[in-house]
Amino acid sequence: MGTEKKHWAKEVVRRTKQRDDIANSRFIQKKINRLVANIAKANATIADFQLQLIDYWSYANPDALAQRVVGLIAEKERTNQSTGQILSSAPLTTTITAVNATTTTSAYKDPVRETVDRIEHQILDYIYKNTSHVKKMFQGRVQLAKAEMEEFKALEDFEQVTTPSQWTIHLMLKSKVKVYSTKNKNYRIATKRVEYDLLPKFIDKIDFSFKIDESVVGKDEAQAMYDQMRKTTKDFRTQAMKLYVQSLAREHELLSNEIKRTIESFPKDNDEGFDAEASYASFKHYHELREKRLNLELEQSLHFLEVERVEGDINNQQEEIVAPTPLRVLGPEFSLQQ
Return d(Cα 62, Cα 163) in angstroms, integer: 83
Given a cut of 90, whether residue 110 has pLDDT beyond it is no
Q: Pick the residue with more confidence: 95 or 274?
A: 274
φ and ψ at 92, to 5 degrees? -95, 60
Q: Evaluate if residue 28 carries a pLDDT over 50.
A: yes
HEC string for 285-323: HHHHHHHHHHHHHHHHHCHHHHHHHHHHHHHHCCCCCCC
Neighbouring CB atoms inside 10 A of 290's CB total 20
**Between vectors from CA 132 to CA 291 and to CA 204, what angle results, nearest 5°?**
75
Provide the pLDDT confidence category of residue 338 given band limits of 50, 70 and 90.
very low
Instruction: Collapse the DSSP code of 57 into the 3-class scheme (helix H, G, I; strand E, B; otherwise coil) and give the result.
Output: helix
Domain membership flag for residue 192: yes
Amino acid at 33: N
Mean pLDDT score, 244-256: 94
Q: How far apart are CA 178 and CA 294, in angstroms?
A: 9
Output the average pLDDT for the chain: 78
Residue 206 has pLDDT above 50, yes or no: yes
112 found inside a domain = no
Average the pLDDT over 137-146 and give the result.
Answer: 87
Domain assignment present for 92 = no
pLDDT category, 127, cuts 50, 70, 90? confident
pLDDT for 282 equals 92
120 or 188, greater pLDDT: 188
Domain contains 217: yes
**Confidence grade of residue 170 (pLDDT, cut at 50, 70, 90):** very high
Model confidence, pTM: 0.64
Q: Which of 72-86, 98-112, 158-172, 215-229 has the lowest mean pLDDT?
A: 98-112
pLDDT category at 273 given cuts 50, 70, 90 is: low
Quick one: average pLDDT of 19-45? 88
The Cβ-side half-sphere exposure at 330, using a 13 Å CA radius, reads 17
With bands split at pLDDT 50, 70 and 90, how would you rate the model's confidence at 289?
very high
Burial 146-166 (b: 16+ CB within 10 A, else e): bbbbbbeebbeebeebbbeeb
237 has pLDDT over 80: yes
Please report whether residue 21 resides in a domain: no
Q: Is the predicted pLDDT of residue 304 greater than 80, yes or no?
A: no
Q: Is the dihedral of CA 219, 223, 229, 232 positive or negative?
A: negative
- In 3D space, the residue among 201, 176, 147 whose CA is nearest the CA of residue 252 turns out to be 176
Is residue 69 in a domain?
Answer: no
- 235's enclosing H/E stretch is helix 219-264
Which pLDDT belongs to residue 207? Answer: 86
The tally of domains found in the chain comes to: 1
User: Who has greater pLDDT, 61 or 260?
Assistant: 260
CA distance 85 to 328: 46
φ/ψ of residue 274, rounded to 5: -90, 150
pLDDT at 321: 35
Phi–psi pair at 28, nearest 5 degrees:
-65, -45
Quick one: CA dihedral 175, 176, 179, 182, positive or negative? negative
Q: What is the pLDDT averaged over residues 222-250?
A: 92
pLDDT tier at 303, thresholds 50, 70, 90:
confident
Q: Above 90 in pLDDT, residue 216?
A: no
Domain range for residue 191? Answer: 148-316
Instruction: List 274's β-bridge partners, or say none.
Output: 271
**CA–CA gap between residue 29 and residue 21 (Å, rounded):** 12
CB 161 within 8 A of CB 31: no
Q: What is the pLDDT of residue 64?
A: 59
pLDDT at 169: 92
Secondary structure (3-state) at 274: strand
Which residue did the predictor score with more confidence, 6 or 200? 200
- Coarse DSSP helix, strand, coil percentages of the chain, rounded to the nearest 5 percent: 80, 0, 20
Question: Residue 262: inside a domain, yes or no?
Answer: yes
Does residue 16 lie within any of the structural domains?
Answer: no
pLDDT digit string, tens, across residues 144-169: 989 999 999 999 999 998 888 889 99
In this predicted structure, the answer to whether residue 72 has a pLDDT above a threshold of 70 is no
pLDDT above 90 as % of the chain: 28
Four-point Cα dihedral 139, 145, 146, 151, nearest 10: 140
